[in-house]
Every structure is written in C-alpha cells, then in structure tokens.
C-alpha cells in the first residue's frame, strides 16, 4: 500500500499505476486550488504523470514521492497560470455563493454555512499562508514536506500555519459572538 512516503521504483508499471491511482484525486484538488479551474487542474496532473513516466529511469525520489509530486504539481500549476496570463487565488473546492453578511445571526449557524464561511476565510488568507495551511490541513502533508514544496524553512511553515489558525479562530469567535459586521476584518 502506498502512503506517500514510500519510494517506489517508478519504472515498474504496476508501482506507477498504483501511485497514479493513489495520488490523482488529492493532486487534482491541490492543482485546482492553485489554478482555480478544474479543467486546468486535470491537465496539470496529466502533465505531471506524463513527465514522471518519461523520466522514470532518471528520477530519484530523495524525500518522498508525496513531496516530489506536490512540488511538480505546484510548479506546473504556477506555470499554467503564467502561460495563460491569469492571476488566480487558491480556489475553494466549490463555488461559494454565500456572503458572510447573508449568514444571519440565528442562535445556531448551520454546518454548511459554517463550512462556507471557513472556506471564504481561508481564501482571504495571504497566498503563501493559505498554501501552507491548505497543504497541511487538506492534503495532510508534514511541515517538512510543505517546506520542501514551498521552498521555505520548516519554521516559516510553522509560522504560516499558526497565523492562519489564529486568524480563523478570531473570525470564528466573532461569528460565535454574532458580530457579523467584523467578519471580513
């Protein structure tokens, strides 16, 4: 079973196929957060695995296959954005139609409304902080792997995630205290 830290021999077709099946969906979600477009995200993943297959004899997995793939996806997705001359923020998994001021001040906020608020708040984080947080919380990468992918020190990754959590907690506290006028601050 593949767990992301394994170092499979990628020239083995069965190992490559297993890696593709294991990583495809999480990598598509990650690429979509970068590109903001599901179609571009799928293209990025296809390009990454095509490149991986082409270079399978020469590639040495030094850290982990997980870190290698996320790095390749990140680089290809950023290149796709530059190539298309689009500026895109990390997109949420689905289109958000709700604005915080539309949530209302009922005694209890529904789980769906809360999830939407959290996605909106995550989108509002500074880009590098958002990326570190997303890789950690949604993709389950270690701080070491995130540091490798983003080209940062582990300490900087720790700081990004800590600040993201602090911001989200503050916004959640304001929401809980039913002060909707401060949700976007």
pLDDT tens sequence across 23-40: 999 999 999 888 777 888
Q: How far apart are CA 53 and CA 59, in angstroms?
A: 9
Whole-angstrom CA distances from 12 to 3, 58, 65 are 17, 13, 14
- As a whole number, the mean pLDDT across the chain is 75
For residue 107, pLDDT over 50 is answered with no
User: CA nearest 30: which of 126, 164, 127, 139?
Assistant: 139
> Is a pLDDT exceeding 80 seen at residue 105?
no
pLDDT tops 80 at residue 10: no
Does pLDDT of 175 surpass 70?
A: yes
Query: pLDDT at residue 98 above 70?
Result: no
Domain 97-185 has CATH 3.40.50.1700: no
Q: What is the CATH code for 1-88?
A: 1.10.1740.10
Spans of all domains in the chain:
1-88, 97-185
pLDDT: which is higher, 24 or 110: 24
Q: What is the mean pLDDT of residues 46-57?
A: 87
Give me the mean pLDDT over the 46-71 stretch: 83
Confidence bin at 8 (pLDDT 50/70/90): low
Q: What are the tokens at 117?
A: 């608020």
Mean pLDDT of 51-56: 85
| Locus of tokens 């996806």 | 73
pLDDT at 90: 31
What pLDDT, on the 0 to 100 scale, is given for residue 125? 92
């Amino acid at each position: 079973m593949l767990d992301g830290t394994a170092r499979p021999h990628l020239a083995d077709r069965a190992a490559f196929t297993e890696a593709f099946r294991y990583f495809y969906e999480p990598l598509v979600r990650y690429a979509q957060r970068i590109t903001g477009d599901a179609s571009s995200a799928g293209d990025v993943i296809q390009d990454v695995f095509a490149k991986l297959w082409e270079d399978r004899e020469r590639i040495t997995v030094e850290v982990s296959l997980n870190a290698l793939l996320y790095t390749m996806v990140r680089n290809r997705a950023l290149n796709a954005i530059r190539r298309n001359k689009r500026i895109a923020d990390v997109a949420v998994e689905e289109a958000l139609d709700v604005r915080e001021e539309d949530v209302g001040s009922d005694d209890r906020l529904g789980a769906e409304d809360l999830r939407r608020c959290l996605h909106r708040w995550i989108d509002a984080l500074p880009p590098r902080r958002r990326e570190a947080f997303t890789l950690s919380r949604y993709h389950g990468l270690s701080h070491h792997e995130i540091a490798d992918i983003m080209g940062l020190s582990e300490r900087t990754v720790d700081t990004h995630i800590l600040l993201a959590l602090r911001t989200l907690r503050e916004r959640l506290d304001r929401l809980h205290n039913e002060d909707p006028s401060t949700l976007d601050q």
